[in-house]
Amino acid sequence: MPATVGRRVHLAAQLPGIHNVTVWSDPRSESQISIDSFIRLARTAERGKFDFFFLAEGLRLREHKGRVYDLDIAGRPENLTVLSALAAVTTRLGLAATVNATFNEPYEVARRFATLDRLSGGRAAWNVVTSHDAFTGENFRRGGFLPEADRYTRAAEFLTAARKLWDSWSEDDLKADAGTGEFIAPGAGRFTHQGRHFDISGRFTTPPGPQGHPVIIQSGESDTGREFAASDAEVVFSRHNRIDAAREFYRDVKRRLAAYGRRPDDLLILPTAGVVVADTDEEAAAYAAEISRGLVGPQTAIAHLEAVWGRDLSGYDPDGPLPDVEPEDEVPLLEGHSVFRKGRAETARQWRRLAEERNLSIRELVIEVGGRQTFVGSPRTVADAIDDYVQTEGADGFVLVPHLVPGGLDDFVDRVVPILQEKGVHRDDYTGGTLRDHLGLSAAPRPARWGGPGRRLRGGHGGHGAIAGPSRYGGNSGIGGHDGHDDKETSA
């Protein structure tokens, strides 16, 4: 890597599996759920020296007008099971799973992430999402869902409890000492947590993996969601992939960190982005337009509009102007979708304004607001645009979402990554073993409200403690090997 480099570009890959973001009708599309597809895309990301591979989660199939939303690619297997399989066929790539904090219990989730971190040799991350959604909650005990105001109090307490569980073991608790006959230390795994949402105590069965705690990711958009990210997360996902909105989001979230005693580099902001690469900018633009039309067909366009308008618009021409009727604010036609659930009247106003300004048909509008690829052009154009975005603080990097599974990132990795490497903003090879190493994060955040630093002493419960390095908790015993070196390549 050259001596003078810009800010590091962090890259992650997502295998799409819950919304309508892939052109599944393209003959090159393969299964969204076969293990071969997961392996192929993960290996592509690792070949491109990406930081991590990411899986979103949808806990109920979305429904539109009471029918399963057939534009979605549905049928996703459970995330942590998939990532455990991928741990065996990758060696350095981080493995990030979305798991909902509203419908689960801390003990079980902490155990599963401790296991993934151990199996993978310190590569686990948890995208902590919330849902207030009664529609999704019907799948769970007692209806599962929460009033909106309680989502993040539960999520924050969930995380506090999980951290206590991970900290309930110290590195020398597993003794297996034949001389004394002691297998584990007397205090190993003991925990207590009492709070508004959880009142639990006992013994945690699972020693944590090399990272101690998985990397914590957050992806809520609201003010409370941003505050949760600032206090507790190490990565935040966003949907802001247009430069002005992205910079505003970036400034806003980074500015919130100081209140928790954290520095701007303690939290990375990674918008999701689509990429289209071709030999020339013109060819890429033509291909991107084709992809957009593949993603937003006439029916999709009307369904998207109906999701916001809350009324039947099937009589309108998708290639004609927006409906002259106003939205019906009370009746959701699309259930299980977090994006349109609030501010539908305001969204409709903004969409109408945009359509009028640019003279867009319904279908063109839906493409404009949701079906556009973020980076389109020749390999050089795409590399320059990504680099510029990061150097000008629109983002710390991107979660790339391919429009084709599993081959949709091949061109990016083969043709754009080498240019980013040449620019010195992307690693030539992994130099650290854990996901925290790849992200340039050396320790878990220790916000002031958690009581500041201080690692748990055996049997104690002080804060959520410092993160264990690769040699802690039984060493680098994961499936994927690593060298344990730090990988702080980011420079100012």
Contact residues for ligand FMN, defined by CB under 6 A: 56-57, 98, 100, 129-131, 219-222, 225, 237-239, 272, 338
Nearer to ligand FMN, 78 or 182 (CB): 78
CB of 205 to ligand FMN, least distance (A): 27
What token pair was written down for 229? 């990210």
CB of 315 to ligand FMN, least distance (A): 32
Distances (CA, A) of 429 to 195, 386, 391, 424: 44, 19, 21, 12
Between CA 97 and CA 118 the distance in angstroms is 15
CB of 257 to ligand FMN, least distance (A): 17
Nearer to ligand FMN, 150 or 171 (CB): 150
CB of 270 to ligand FMN, least distance (A): 9
CB of 367 to ligand FMN, least distance (A): 19
Between CA 202 and CA 193 the distance in angstroms is 9
Are 276 and 376 in contact by the 8 Å Cβ rule? The answer is yes
Are 487 and 430 in contact by the 8 Å Cβ rule? The answer is yes
- Contacts (Cβ under 8 Å, ≥6 apart) of 39: 85, 86, 89
Nearer to ligand FMN, 218 or 421 (CB): 218
CB of 307 to ligand FMN, least distance (A): 15
Nearer to ligand FMN, 255 or 358 (CB): 255
Tell me the residue length of the chain: 492
Output the CA torsion 128→204→170→467 (10° steps): 0
Maximum Cα interatomic distance, the chain, rounded to a whole number of Å? 83
CB of 449 to ligand FMN, least distance (A): 19
Nearer to ligand FMN, 338 or 361 (CB): 338
CB of 132 to ligand FMN, least distance (A): 8
Residue in 304, 284, 314 with CA at minimum distance from that of residue 355 = 304
- Can you give the C-alpha Rg of the chain in angstroms? 23
Nearer to ligand FMN, 204 or 250 (CB): 250
Between CA 387 and CA 356 the distance in angstroms is 33
CB of 135 to ligand FMN, least distance (A): 12
CB of 284 to ligand FMN, least distance (A): 24
Nearer to ligand FMN, 168 or 219 (CB): 219
Nearer to ligand FMN, 99 or 302 (CB): 99
Annotate 200-231 with b (16+ C-beta within 10 A) or e (fewer).
beeebebbbbbbbbbbbbbbbbeebbbbbbbb
Nearer to ligand FMN, 162 or 313 (CB): 162
Q: Which residues share a beta bridge with 49? A: none
CB of 131 to ligand FMN, least distance (A): 5
Nearer to ligand FMN, 126 or 316 (CB): 126
CB of 164 to ligand FMN, least distance (A): 23
Nearer to ligand FMN, 22 or 100 (CB): 100
Nearer to ligand FMN, 90 or 272 (CB): 272
CB of 360 to ligand FMN, least distance (A): 24
Are 207 and 474 in contact by the 8 Å Cβ rule? The answer is yes
> How many Cβ atoms from other residues are within 10 Å of residue 149's Cβ?
9
Nearer to ligand FMN, 103 or 107 (CB): 103
